[in-house]
Amino acid sequence: MVRREQYERLERHLVADGRGRIEMTFAEVSTVIGAPLPRSAFDHSAWWGTDPKHTQAVWLDAGYQARPNLTAHRVAFLRTAGR
């Protein structure tokens, strides 16, 4: 199980990058957090959702929304308005 601290590495990565659109493969996300993504990240787009109660939703704190492509195993992080 991936801990919140590991997902926070992704938050720091997104903030440091700062572009309006950041595209990553699921493998690249795994590299950043230092652990494999759970199976649900590959199977359910809701895993990439906007519920701040989800441990992994650190992209919200970084000012992004996630738009996954489950078939291609890719995700685009899009900066939210006001950031």
Domain boundaries, the chain: 4-79
The reported pLDDT for the residue numbered 38 is: 95
Give yes or no for residue 8 having a pLDDT over 70. Answer: yes
Which band of pLDDT confidence, cut at 50, 70 and 90, is reported for residue 23? very high
The reported pLDDT for the residue numbered 28 is: 98
Give yes or no for residue 83 having a pLDDT over 60. Answer: no
Annotate 12-32 with b (16+ C-beta within 10 A) or e (fewer).
Answer: ebbeeeeeeebebebebbbeb
The reported pLDDT for the residue numbered 53 is: 85
The reported pLDDT for the residue numbered 82 is: 64
